[in-house]
Structure 1
Amino acid sequence: MRDFDLVVIGDANPDVVAGPLSGPLAFGQREQLVAHAGLVLGGSAAIMACGAARLGLRVAFAGRVGADPAGVFVRDALAGRGVDVSFLVTDPELATPLTVVVTTEDGDRAILTAPGCLTATDAEDVPRELLAATRHVHAASFFLMPRLACSLAAVFARARALGATTSLDTNDDPAGRWDRGLLDPVLEVTDFLLPNAAEARALGLYPATGAGPYPRPPRGEGVSGDEVAAPPRQPPTVVIKDGGNGALALRGTRLLHAPAVPVEPVDTVGAGDSFDAGFVAATLRGLDLAPAMALAVACGSLSTRGHGGTAAQPTWDEARAATSDNSERGIH
Structure 2
Amino acid sequence: MATRFDLLVVGDANPDVVLVDAPRRPAFGQREELVRHGELALGGSAAIMACGAARLGLRTAFAGRVGDDAAGRFVLDALTRRGVDVSACTVDPSRPTGLTVILNEGGDRAILTALGTLPEMTAEDVPATVLEGVRHVHAASYFLQPGLAAGLPGLFAAARAAGATTSLDTNDDPSGRWDGLDAVLAMTDVLLPNEAEARAIAGTDDLAEAARMLASRGPLPVIKCGAAGALAWDGEPVRAAPMPAEPLDTVGAGDSFDAGLLAGRLRGLGLPDSLAVAAAAGALSTRAYGGTAAQPTWKEAAAAARLPERTVR
| TM-score normalised according to structure 1 size | 0.89
* Counterpart residue identity of residue 276, structure 1: D
What's 1:2 paired with?
A: 3
Hey, what's the Cα distance between the residues in 2 that align with 1:123 and 1:292?
Answer: 29
Which residue among 178, 189, 192 is the counterpart of 2:190? 192
CA RMSD across the alignment:
1.5
| Equivalent residue, structure 1, for 2:96 | 95
Distance 2:197 2:27 in 1: 29
Contact 1:102 1:109 (8 Å CA) reproduced: yes
Deviation at 1:28, TM superposition (A): 2.9
Q: Distance in 2 between matches of 1:169 and 1:86?
A: 23
Question: Secondary structure of 1:86's partner?
Answer: coil
1:201 Cα deviation after fit: 1.2
* Aligned mates of 1:44, 1:228 — CA distance in 2: 23
State the shift of 1:257 in Å. Answer: 1.3
Q: In 1, are the aligned partners of 2:98 and 2:115 still within 8 Å (CA)?
A: yes
What secondary structure sits across from 2:17 in the alignment?
strand
TM alignment of 1:255-274, pairs within 5 A: 255-274=237-256
Cross-structure match for 2:131:
131
Matches within 5 A, 1:22-41: 24-29=24-29, 30-41=31-42
Partner of 2:120: 120
Following the alignment from structure 1 to structure 2, what is the Cα–Cα distance between the partners of residues 170 and 120? 17
Superposed, which structure 2 residues align to 1:1-332 within 5 Å? 1-21=2-22, 24-29=24-29, 30-105=31-106, 107-179=107-179, 182-204=180-202, 207=204, 216-217=206-207, 231-232=213-214, 233-253=216-236, 255-324=237-306
Cα distance change on mapping 1:11 and 1:229 into 2, 3 Å:
closer
Q: How far apart are 1:251 and its partner, in Å?
A: 2.2
Letter paired with 1:51: G
How far has the Cα of 1:260 moved from its partner?
1.2
> Are the structure 2 counterparts of residues 39 and 172 from structure 1 closer, same or farther at C-alpha, using a change threshold of 3 Å?
same
Q: Which runs of 5+ in 1 are unaligned?
A: 209-215, 218-224, 326-332
Q: How many residues align?
A: 304
Return the letter of the residue paired with 2:250.
T
**TM-score, normalised relative to structure 2:** 0.94
Question: 1: distance between equivalents of 2:61 and 2:217?
Answer: 28
Partner secondary structure for residue 286 of structure 1: coil
Query: Shift of the alpha carbon at 1:228?
Result: 7.2
Q: Structure 1 counterpart of 2:100, which letter?
A: T
SS at match of 1:320: helix
Q: Is the 8 A contact 1:49 1:277 kept in 2?
A: yes
Cα displacement string for residues 107-164 of structure 1 (whole angstroms, at most 9, x for unaligned residues): 2111111111111100111121111110000000000000110110000000000000
Q: Distance in 2 between matches of 1:64 and 1:194?
A: 23
Describe the SS at the equivalent of 2:66. strand
1:220 is matched with none
Contact 2:211 / 2:232 at 8 angstroms: preserved in 1? no
Counterpart contact for 2:198–2:210, Cα < 8 Å: no
Residues in 1 aligned to 2:152 and 2:24: alpha-carbon distance in whole angstroms: 38
Q: Secondary structure at the match of 1:293?
A: helix
Q: Percent identity?
A: 60
Aligned-partner Cα distance in 2 for 1:235–1:199? 17
**Mapped partners of 2:200, 2:111: distance in 1:** 18
Distance 1:324 1:153, change over 3 A: same
Counterparts of 1:201 and 1:189, CA distance in 2: 20
Q: Is the 8 A contact 1:207 1:229 kept in 2?
A: no
Paired residues of 1:207 and 1:230 also in contact (CA < 8 A): no
Deviation at 1:170, TM superposition (A): 0.2
Superposed CA offset, 1:266-319 (max 9, x none): 000000000000011110000111110110000000000000000000000000
In structure 2, stretches of 5+ residues that fail to align are: 308-313
